[in-house]
Amino acid sequence: MTASDAPLSGQFSSAIADAREADRICDRLKAVQEELSGVIFGQDAVIRQALTTVLSGGHALLVGPPGLGKTLLVNTLGTVLGLDARRVQFTPDLMPSDITGGEILDEDAAGHRSFRFVKGPVFCQLLMADEINRASPRTQSALLQAMQEHHVTVAGVEHALPRPFHVLATQNPFEQEGTYPLPEAQLDRFMLQIPLDFPAEDAERQMLLATTGVTTQVASPIMNAASLIEAQALVRRMPVGEKIVDAILTLVRSARPQHAPDDLKSAIAWGPGPRAAQTLMLTTRARALLDGRLSPSLDDVVALAQPVLAHRMAVSFSARADGLRPEDIIARLVKRLS
């Protein structure tokens, strides 16, 4: 082997190692999905999107009316993935310090006083922000730094959050009483917006029989924080073909008013930023890994277009008057990819 062949040999060995690691991780992820499906009935697509978000190292916003299992999904996900999970119920009177923590004044036996930082519930590996849009924008913004930079600053001192760190927030429809719209900057921090709908009749029947008896199904841990971090690292090493990169760029850029097709320019008020393209690059890889594939396809881009882009764009007033939604625009843009 010549010196010029050495880098190629190293890349080949690395690819073989990644393939073996992917096989091992895929088996675990399959077990995770089966464990979640045994507790959460009729929400397989939601489970896959939530796992895709966590594998990508990001945060997700679960949107739907109460009673569809959003809280149960997050709690079960924390158990199955072996993460330290905590829950914060967002209410109109919730303060930022109730999430991040704050300093308290201590006094020792000698009478010396000093401030001590007491960590809030955000210092965990999986935070459930329940009904996040029932709190004021001031409180919602307390999560911004934590979600983006993985630390919080209190009294000028930075406090690092545990690894991994994920926020799975639930949001009630805006039509319900006592809800606030989330700021655009915060929405952009969520990798995916995952809509929940009512289960099919067969799934609801299964749910009734499984949850109204003497015993209920309890999930068991399948992974832990260390194995999840390994899976997240593998997702970032997975190759993405030029065709997929081009499709992601084309889709995201065409969702902006200045680059939109002529028939959609006036319908888009503002579109997704570069973070949307980054999110698609990561989540398409994670979705492929969930399916046991080592690289994403165009089908992954199409499947994730709605949950990645819908909360990162807005339609114009005239388009809203015509009944056009961001989902409708995205669907038309996706058709142009094929």
Q: What is the CA radius of gyration of the chain?
A: 22
Per-residue pLDDT of the chain (338 residues; tens, 9 = 90+): 444 444 544 454 566 677 788 888 888 999 999 898 888 888 889 999 999 999 999 999 998 877 777 888 888 999 999 999 899 988 888 888 888 888 888 877 777 888 888 888 999 999 999 888 888 877 877 788 888 888 888 878 888 899 999 999 988 766 556 677 777 888 888 999 998 888 888 888 888 887 777 777 778 889 999 999 999 999 999 999 999 999 999 999 999 998 888 888 888 888 899 999 999 999 999 999 999 898 999 999 999 999 999 999 988 888 888 888 989 999 999 998 87
Residue with tokens 């709908």: 197
For the structural domain made of 238-338, what CATH number should be given? Answer: 1.10.8.80
Q: What is the pLDDT of residue 75?
A: 87
d(C-alpha 75, C-alpha 99), whole Å: 18
The domain made up of 11-93+121-237 has a fold known as Rossmann fold (3.40.50)
Domain boundaries, the chain: 11-93+121-237, 238-338
Q: What tokens does 197 get?
A: 């709908």
d(C-alpha 62, C-alpha 190), whole Å: 10
| Those residues with Cβ within 8 angstroms of residue 27's Cβ, 6 or more apart along the chain or in another chain | none
Give how far Cα 296 sits from Cα of 89, 231, 290, 302, 303, Å: 36, 16, 11, 11, 11
